[in-house]
Each structure stands twice: as structure tokens, then as C-alpha cells.
Amino acid sequence: PEPLREALAGAAPPQAGNRAPAWSCPRPAPAAANSPLSRLRLRALPPSAASARGPSERPLRPVKSLPGGTAHVKLEIKKHAVTDDYKLSKRVLGLGINGKVLECFNKETGQKCALKLLYDNPKARQEVEYHWRASGCPYIVHVLDVYENIHQGKRCLLIVMECMEGGELFSRIQERGDQAFTEREASEIMRDIGTAIQYLHSMNIAHRDVKPENLLYTSKDKDTVLKLTDFGFAKETTVNALQTPCYTPYYVAPEVLGPEKYDKSCDMWSLGVITYILLCGFPPFYSNTGQAISPGMKRRIRMGQYGFPNPEWAEVSEEAKQLIRHLLKTDPTERMTISQFMNHPWINRSMSVPPTPLHTARVLQEDKDHWDEVKEEMTSALATMRVDYDQVKIKDLKTSNNRLLNKRRKKQKQAGASSAALGCNNQ
């Protein structure tokens, strides 16, 4: 349609190394005349095609009401052109695991939304199904509409979602400046993330890619809501049913590194890593080169080698450290379940958690350049969707071997030496 062609002309996707979150709303991307998106054409599904349903086009199921949210109504995929209902702007919001994400506006209400384009296949249908079923949870990005259109002679699915304008979890903490980030705030954040995971696990869905970049705020407001996004790796599961080795290395559970089967406990491991980062500003396991995982690192992750180095962990409560230990158990059968997580006193009694100021905001700000490197490496890993085990190198965060920690310590020593020299010169 003509409106779509005009809207997308000159739009360019973000650079691979600086990919925006799947449906956040950053500034407009710079124009690029030869952008693939400038050639994007969508049209309504013809009646004959709509009636002929192939094997990849199974209808999506309704869900029952579940803990942590309300039931989402049965999904009805719309066959008319998405541009009949939504006006597309020239802003490219980012690239999800399985498709492009564009900005659009509801023509009737003016609501700003995010539009994700997926070529129609069984995997795309699965992503749409799981995300739609999960949209009843207040801590998961809501799917508003789904369309089935034709693009370049191929069927595609277009997912219209709420637009997350508040940015990433850790970017928001970085931007706090002198305002301290406290342990109580970390507890409240983990409670909200846990609610999203509890909702998914109650439907026997494992997200399989719970990580900071997939946690976005609805707005810049103080009372904004943090939500989980991107269901490109989500999978329906029963106990020990998941076997596919797709993951983001920084948050990978030990059993994913080997031939063992794994289940929802993968998400619990990720919760442990995110809790750890919230409380200090750096991860318990850290990539040294941006490549993937070495056999030696596999063994170290399986052994659960991490620590709570000072001064970052000096004032953190023992209750928080205990929670992390239960989440980072190397044996998935011993790892805390989501129900146990939500019932842990550090989570369900967050108002009783001490408002201890943490080093997190300062560390994230000081190491901002290195943190961006980590995210770029993770983006590269996500793009492959499968990781070659023999080519992966992750470094564990023992205090003596952590590159981020060592650089910060060196910087602090240099600053101290400069101050001492200045003091001597003034005497």
C-alpha cells in the first residue's frame, strides 16, 4: 500500500553492534536510501489464501486465567492490511531475535505502538502464540493485534505491541547520577521480574532468554512498569524436556553447556545472574573476548565458581546472597523454583529489605563502555541463535580475573596515587 511505502522509504535498521531492544522506542535511526525496509510492501491476504491453511498456519490457542494476570482473549489473526489500522512512521525501533521492529500509530486512537515483522513459518507462529498467551501478565509486553499479510509474495505475521519508551533496566540505573540505587529497589525489581516468570512457568512455558536487555520500562515516569520482552526463544516444556542449545552466553545455565536436558530452571539461573548484577553492577560470569565458551569455562560454570567481592558486596544483606546461591545452584534439581523464589523473604517482603545504598549505579556508569561491549557481544550471540560449543569462551567473574573489576581497581589506584602525589607537592 502507498502509505506503507511512504512510511518506510529511507528507514534504516540499527547497526548490528548497537541494536535497540526488541520493541523499545529510541530516537529515529538515520536514513539510508538503500535500506531493505524501503522496499517493504505489504498487502492484505487474499480470500483464497486466507481459506487455504497450510501446516505452518495452525490456529493459536486461548488460555485460561492464571496467577499474576488475567486471561488474554482468544487470538484472531486479522487478514486485512495492517496499514488499514496503523500508520507507520520512519522510525526503526530495533531488531528482535526473529524479525524487524518498527514504530506505528493506531489510526483510531493515536496510540504509539511497535510493529514486529515475522515471515510466516512454524517458529514464527510459535513465538506469536506464546507471546499472545503471556500478554495477560502485567509484567510482560502486551500484544495488541496480529495480522497476516503478504510481503514480496510471502506470507508474514505482523505483531502489534505496546511501545516500551522507558528504555532498558540497567540503562535506567546508569542514568541515576548521584541518586543511590538501594537493595530494597533491587528486591522490588526482582519481584516484578519473578511475577512474569511465574506467569510463564504456570503455563509450562520457559522463556529461555531472560536477560537485562529483554527487560524494558513502559515509560520514563517514576511509577513506570518493568516488563519482559522477546519470545523468540520461548518454548513449551515439561520437566527436563528442553534440549535445544540456544541461549545468550552471559546468562546461560550450567546444564545448557553440555548434553544434559534442561527446563524452567534455566530461567531461574538467569534470575540469579540478574539479581547479582543489580546488587553490584557486574555479572558473576563475564566474557573476556566476545567469543563463545571454552571447555575450561564450561567446567568453571558447572562448578558454580563466583564470589561476592568487596567493597561492592560488603554491605549487601546475607539474605540476598543466600537467594543468589539458591538460584545459581549448578544442579538444576537443587535450584530454587519460581514458587520458592516468590516466597523467599527477600522477594515477598521487599519493604523489609534494608534500603542499603549499593555500588551498582556507580559501577555501571564507570564501566559503561565495557558494559556496551558485553551487550554487543550478546547481540552477536543472539543473531546466530545457536552457539557452537567448541567456539565459545566465557570468563568467570573471580575477583582476580574479572576484566571490568580489574580495570576499575587500576583506575582507583591511579586516582589514589595522583591524589597522594598532589598532596606531597602541596606540602
- H-helix or E-strand containing 143? strand 143-151
Domains of the chain, by residue range, sit at: 2-31+40-46+56-69+77-162, 167-409
- 227 carries a ligand binding annotation: no
pLDDT of residue 12: 38
Fold classification of 2-31+40-46+56-69+77-162 is Phosphorylase Kinase; domain 1 (3.30.200)
Q: What is the pLDDT of residue 325?
A: 94
pLDDT of residue 48: 52
What's residue 312's pLDDT? 94
**All three cell numbers of 136:** 495477560
Neighbours of 249 (CB within 10 A): 23
What pLDDT does residue 185 have?
96
Which pLDDT value is given to residue 367?
81
* Highest CATH level, class, for 167-409: mainly alpha
**pLDDT the model gives residue 61:** 43
Q: What does each C-alpha distance from 8 to 13, 112, 159, 161 come to in angstroms?
A: 11, 16, 17, 18
Annotated active-site positions, please? 209
Residue 236: its H or E element: strand 235-236
Tens digit of pLDDT at every position of the chain (427 positions)? 444 444 444 443 433 333 334 444 433 333 333 333 334 556 666 655 554 444 344 444 444 344 445 555 678 899 999 999 999 887 888 766 666 788 999 999 999 999 999 999 999 999 999 999 999 999 999 999 999 998 878 899 999 999 999 999 999 998 887 789 999 999 999 999 999 999 999 999 988 888 888 999 999 998 899 999 999 888 887 644 444 545 555 555 554 544 333 558 778 888 998 999 899 988 776 655 545 444 444 555 566 668 899 999 999 999 999 999 999 887 777 889 999 999 999 999 989 999 999 999 999 888 877 776 555 543 443 333 223 322 333 344 444 456 666 777 777 777 776 666 655 555 5
pLDDT of residue 400: 44
Of 200, 213, 197, 205, give the one whose Cα is nearest residue 249.
Answer: 213
Q: What is the 3-state secondary structure (H, E, C) of 348-384?
A: HCHHHCCCCECCHHHHHHHCHHHHHHHHHHHHHHHHH
The pLDDT value given to residue 55: 39
